[in-house]
Chains A and B, each alone.
Chain A
Amino acid sequence: MNRNLIIGTTLTAVFITLAVWSFVWIPYDIESLDIANKLQTPNSAYLLGTDHFGRDILSMIMMGARTSIAVAFVAVGIGMALGIPLGLLAAARHGSLLDEVIMRGNDLVFAFPSLVIAILITAVFGASATNAIIAIGIFNIPVFARLTRGAALPLWERDFILAARVCGKSAARISVEHILPNITNLMIVQGTIQFSLGILAEAALSYIGLGAQPPTASWGRMLADAQTLVSIAPHTALVPGFAILLMVLGLNLMGDGLRDWLDPRIRVART
């Protein structure tokens, strides 16, 4: 274990705990507003203060963590579920027309700035958390497809694959039984990084009003709402800002730590 991994995992675990905990209990109901108690600074009743509608910011952060994590998790899931098979297929049929089609299709998706296309998708199909998930998910596909293909290609040259082929295993079986287990580490690391990007993308979409719609809590929209309040109630912007920062930092540190920890070469070099 290394320090990055410990710090990163701890930070991530804190937010995941908050999100899970929110299913059981939150300090205050965030769907009923309490205008009389608006813009309170952090105090013993409201640990992180209240926002412009008198909602408890700690409760909002907990519910927002749920939204962020759910969106990022499903988006990365979409990316992996479609990207990895595409990458394996391209690697198995290396050099064929199919390989070309898959990889050029990926280039096409890569060619567009992801946020612009996400805005386009939500503008056409309406702003909602589901559409944000789809938009972010689509952009995870080529990431995983490329990585899978890149990692799988050298494996295909290895002797144990040759042995498997001599045994008469089909390309599909080899991909699943021999290639996939050998690239899992990479996928986990990349998944963690993509997860943090997904959190950022969700916050960005919500900030411009295209993510989860009210009353669903979202860190990005909390930031947008706090925009004009920064000078009179800084905590309304600082709290969600730090939540995004810490969550993304945690995931990135965790990704780095995992890479070091899982990569056999680095591990061998260290021992």
Chain B
Amino acid sequence: MTYTRTGLTAALAFCATTALAQDSITVAIQLEPPNLDPTGGAAQAIDSVLYANVFEGLTRFDADGAIIRGLAQSWDISDDGLVYTFNLAAGVTFHDGTTMDAEDVKFSLDRARAEDSTNAQKALFEGITDVTVVEPLVVQITLTQPNGNFLFNLAWGDAVIVAPESIDTIASNPIGTGPFTFTDWVQGDRLELTRNPDYWGPAPALASATFRFIADPTAAFAAVMAEDVDAFIGFPAPENLPQFEADPRFQVLVGNTEGETILSTNNKMPPFDDVLVRQAVAHAIDRQAIIDGAMFGLGTPIGTHFAPHHPDYVDLLGNSPYDPERAKELLAEAGFADGFTTTLKLPPPSYARRGGEIIASQLREVGIETEISNVEWAQWIEDVFTNKDFGLSIVSHTEPMDIGIYANPDYYFQYDNPAFQTLMETLNATTDPATRSDLLAQAQTIISEDYVNGYLFELAVATVAKAEIEGLWVNQPTAAVDLTGVSWAN
């Protein structure tokens, strides 16, 4: 009896708190992070939960993808572009009470670029020769050659500042400098953050936040409809969005991501080693049908591996318009007048599973038969990404500015073009904005005209949130659910 009464009181108290305060939020995302170390794991979900909330870097992305100040309040770049001097914010402490200073920056960057580093984006730190502590709040980074992307590289979630005192347990108990502290993680269910009272910057409006992980589209729909979650970032079922738009309880935000969704093509596997065959595939694809059929209209067609909202984007859709007759001609020219059979391995997201069925049907029209196999992510990583045992696959490359992957001949689609590799080396060493734009345009054109992959569309991200929530990111310049500016209107 006593138990029941206590439980009831607790329940009532809980209702009262949520009704009055409105300074807590429950946010759902699709995938759960495998661990909580953004500097050690590759999974995007780690950044989704922790970026800007728990961990901060020297610079950071803002909601529009621009690079703004992070822990570094200002910086000087030497005239030759080789030495960066960062002035750090004063009075910054880690959540365990230790102070954040130049030593921690040196430790973090040296750890990330070390030989034995497990950092998923080690390439970001290539070219750093030395990190020097000048004063407690001044740190100097020396590069081997000028790098026009350096401030951008430091903004990534993989380049956040960590403390040597807490590094051993970072994977389960992340200690950062951000406006929220990590409180609890119930694996398979939820992760909780609480406002950091000692935050060095402006205090966030939210006192606490709970992340929930819901991968299944049907469950996601039910959770939002029942108001079990206040916001769903990256809502997985675009077909349900009109219902939320029509419902005054919710707002729907559709923004762009850095996700180039491509028909990945194994460039070393015959017949895809023949550019004519790849071109035929490109002409056989009707992008708009895929966007309408798989994404219910969400997404922007792309003609190369570059985000269309980026100022340096070149519209190359003209290289591969939907033209099945041309595709058949090209196949005949390549010696495959009767078509051929290949594999199409599809990871779980609906852009791949649904898009795959549509592409299979479009390829069949020109005589290419595909054997579809649906694979889970772990199997996709093993079969496609690691062992390169595939003909075609569909995947969204969500890293920002990742055209550089085409310069790596061992990357899973195995594009090996020395001219492109040289171009990328030139680009990395160039800091002049106009020259960089020009080089990026050349790079986009090369891969588009080589038909390396089938370029489908830029993935859109849909956020469904309660109507009263303000300050959520609309776009996803990087995988992040930045809660610093989020508040309730009432």
| A interface, CB within 8 angstroms of B | 31-33, 35-36, 38, 52-54, 126-127, 209, 213-215, 227-229, 231-232
Contact B373 A52 (CB under 8 A): no
Residue B315, interface by CB 8 Å:
no
Q: Which of B289, B292, B361 has most A Cβ within 10 Å?
A: B361
Residue B31, interface by CB 8 Å:
no
Question: CA A225 – CA B263 in complex, angstroms?
Answer: 22
Question: CA A117 – CA B181 in complex, angstroms?
Answer: 45
Contact B217 A126 (CB under 8 A): no
Known pairs A33-B289, A127-B374; A229 contacts B357 (CB<8 A): no
Tell me the total A-B contact number using a CB cutoff of 8 A: 58
Q: In chain B, residues 380-413, which have Cβ atoms closer than 8 Å to a Cβ of chain A?
A: none
What residues of chain A lie closer than 8 Å to B117, measured between beta carbons?
Answer: none
Question: CA A214 – CA B374 in complex, angstroms?
Answer: 9
Known pairs A38-B293, A127-B373, A127-B374; A33 contacts B239 (CB<8 A): no
What residues of chain B lie closer than 8 Å to A213, measured between beta carbons?
Answer: 371-374
What residues of chain B lie closer than 8 Å to A54, measured between beta carbons?
Answer: 293
Contact A215 B242 (CB under 8 A): no
Cβ proximity bits B359-376 to A, threshold 8 Å, 1 near / 0 not: 011001100000111100
Nearest Cβ on chain A to B216's Cβ, whole angstroms: 9
Residue B354, interface by CB 8 Å:
yes
Known pairs A52-B354, A53-B357, A215-B357; A35 contacts B243 (CB<8 A): no
Question: CA A67 – CA B373 in complex, angstroms?
Answer: 18
Closest to A229 in B: B239
Contact B364 A31 (CB under 8 A): yes
Nearest Cβ on chain A to B335's Cβ, whole angstroms: 25
Closest to B216 in A: A227
Nearest Cβ on chain B to A198's Cβ, whole angstroms: 22
Nearest Cβ on chain B to A29's Cβ, whole angstroms: 10
Contact B373 A33 (CB under 8 A): no
Interface size grouping (class) on chain B: 20 to 34
What residues of chain B lie closer than 8 Å to A32, measured between beta carbons?
Answer: 361, 364-365
Contact B293 A33 (CB under 8 A): yes
Picked from A52, A209, A228, the residue with its CB within 8 Å of the CB of B217 is A228
Residue B237, interface by CB 8 Å:
yes
Contact B373 A228 (CB under 8 A): no
Nearest Cβ on chain A to B62's Cβ, whole angstroms: 33
Question: CA A232 – CA B361 in complex, angstroms?
Answer: 25
Contact B293 A231 (CB under 8 A): no
Q: Which of A35, A126, A127, A231 has most B Cβ within 10 Å?
A: A35
Picked from B243, B364, B372, the residue with its CB within 8 Å of the CB of A232 is B243
Contact B373 A231 (CB under 8 A): no
Contact B293 A228 (CB under 8 A): no
What residues of chain A lie closer than 8 Å to B361, measured between beta carbons?
Answer: 31-33, 53, 215
Contact B293 A52 (CB under 8 A): yes
Residue B218, interface by CB 8 Å:
yes
Cβ proximity bits B219-247 to A, threshold 8 Å, 1 near / 0 not: 00100000000000000010110110000
What residues of chain B lie closer than 8 Å to A232, measured between beta carbons?
Answer: 239-240, 242-243
Question: CA A101 – CA B217 in complex, angstroms?
Answer: 47
Closest to B292 in A: A35
Contact A35 B293 (CB under 8 A): yes
Residue B358, interface by CB 8 Å:
yes
What residues of chain A lie closer than 8 Å to B358, measured between beta carbons?
Answer: 33, 35, 53
